[in-house]
């Protein structure tokens, strides 16, 4: 043990072994940088996700659309006499249902009952705020879209898309047959399960016409393929 310590001190002796000392200093610096990165990375990542959650959600919805060959319209703004009635982040046209998806990011936890008009948001700093039931809000968007398209409401599914690290009290009790609050990581699974329901698929010609009509009338930055680009 003594010999080992002696060799170590000799290796680190700046006068006797300048090269070894330089290597040691470089290693200390690298380890310090690594420790700083490991400590700060979770906070930096959380901030990045919060600032860019719409782009992150868009990529997830876009991937689901591509994998299943579904039509997708983003940034749908519905107006009446130049007044904005509502905005919908994503309208995903499945084989059996049309998904009205609204993006939400909560830096904390939420709780409420699916039938309550008001829910509660618990911020990370311990503060508690009352907020309108996000599921009810999106269900109203669904109703407006159904009204303007003249498509029966039974063909629509409301989805409030939230961040994975948002804690929800009694999450399993909140979802209904046509209305869901879903974390980003579970979105693909939920849509897959809904599309497996024992119901008849929508008429493809009517669906294509509805997609083109909605995109032309209400989609922002509509492309030739009926999809709106993400801003």
Residue identified by tokens 């009810």 is 136
CA distance 58 to 101: 10
Give the span between the Cα atoms of 185 and 110, in whole angstroms.
18
Q: Is the pTM of this model over 0.95?
A: no
**What confidence score (pLDDT) does residue 183 get?**
94
User: Tens digits of per-residue pLDDT, 103-115?
Assistant: 999 989 999 988 8
Fold for the domain defined by 52-218? Trna Endonuclease; Chain: A, domain 1 (3.40.1350)
Q: Spell out the domain ranges in the chain.
A: 2-49, 52-218
Question: Which pLDDT band holds residue 97 (cuts at 50, 70, 90)?
Answer: very high
* Residue 36 confidence (pLDDT) above 70: no
Provide the mean pLDDT of the chain.
80
- Contact by Cβ (8 Å): 129, 106: no
pLDDT digit string (tens) for 214-225? 777 665 543 333
pLDDT score at 225 = 36
Assigned token pair, 77: 């703004």
Beta bridge partners of 110: 121, 168
Please state, in angstroms and rounded to a whole number, the distance separating the CA atoms of residues 164 and 123.
15
> Rg of the chain over CA atoms, in angstroms?
26
């Amino acid at each position: 043990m003594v010999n080992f310590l002696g060799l170590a001190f000799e290796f680190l002796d700046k006068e006797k072994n300048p090269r070894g000392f330089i290597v040691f200093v470089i290693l200390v610096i690298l380890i310090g940088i690594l420790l700083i990165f490991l400590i700060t990375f979770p906070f930096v990542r959380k901030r990045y996700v919060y600032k860019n959650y719409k782009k992150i959600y868009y990529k997830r919805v876009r991937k689901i659309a591509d994998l299943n060959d579904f039509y997708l319209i983003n940034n749908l703004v519905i107006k009446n006499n130049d007044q904005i009635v509502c905005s919908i982040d994503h309208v995903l046209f499945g084989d059996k249902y049309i998904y009205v998806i609204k993006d939400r990011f909560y830096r904390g936890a939420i709780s409420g009952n699916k039938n309550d008009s008001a829910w509660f948001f618990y911020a990370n700093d311990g503060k508690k705020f009352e907020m309108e039931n996000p599921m009810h809000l999106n269900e109203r968007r669904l109703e407006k879209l159904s009204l303007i398209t003249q498509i029966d409401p039974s063909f629509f599914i409301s989805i409030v898309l939230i961040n994975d690290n948002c804690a929800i009290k009694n999450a399993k009790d909140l979802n209904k047959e046509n209305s869901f609050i879903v974390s980003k990581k579970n979105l693909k699974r939920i849509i897959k399960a809904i599309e497996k329901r024992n119901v008849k698929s929508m008429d493809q010609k009517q669906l294509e016409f509805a997609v083109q009509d909605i995109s032309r009338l209400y989609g922002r930055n509509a492309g030739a393929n009926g999809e709106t680009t993400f801003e």
